Amino acid sequence: MANLPISHGMVTTGNELHGHRVTRTLGIVRGITVRSRSVVGNLGAALQTLVGGNITIYTELCEKAREEAFELMLQHAAEMGANAVLTMRYDANDVAEGVTEVLAYGTAVQVEPVAG
């Protein structure tokens, strides 16, 4: 049986998913990506810092890294047979100069709707 993708709506930072009850806890899942800033990106960001405000080049890099880590986490959870992820979090660490690891993690669970 193919693993169905997990909807973004079935992921929460909380311990519970409203309208559902946990029927099985499958364990911790994670998605990791490692990104570096390009020379061109650093130059563009340096120019943006002269003007001030949001440094969009870095914002886009961070958003892409978080999105990739999130999707990898969902893939990992689906492979375990989960249909939801609870207590989802992000973490980021510098691996080397200009290289950052982004981690998305949470608890893979199977849930079912609560009759109400």
Q: Number of helices (H) and strands (E) in the chain: give both, helices first.
A: 2, 3
Instruction: Indicate the pTM of the whole model.
Output: 0.84
List the chain domain ranges: 8-36+67-113
CATH topology of domain 8-36+67-113: Translation Initiation Factor IF3 (3.30.110)
Which of 30-44, 63-77, 93-107 shows the lowest mean pLDDT across its residues? 30-44
Give percent above pLDDT 90 in the chain.
Answer: 65
Q: What is the pLDDT of residue 51?
A: 62
Residue 9 neighbours by CB under 8 Å, 6+ apart: none
Q: Which residues pair with 109 in a beta bridge?
A: 25, 84
CA–CA dist 95, 65 (Å, integer): 14
Residue 4, both tokens: 């169905």
Task: Answer left, alpha or beta for residue 6, where phi above 0 means left and psi between -120 and 50 means alpha.
Answer: beta
pLDDT at 1: 47
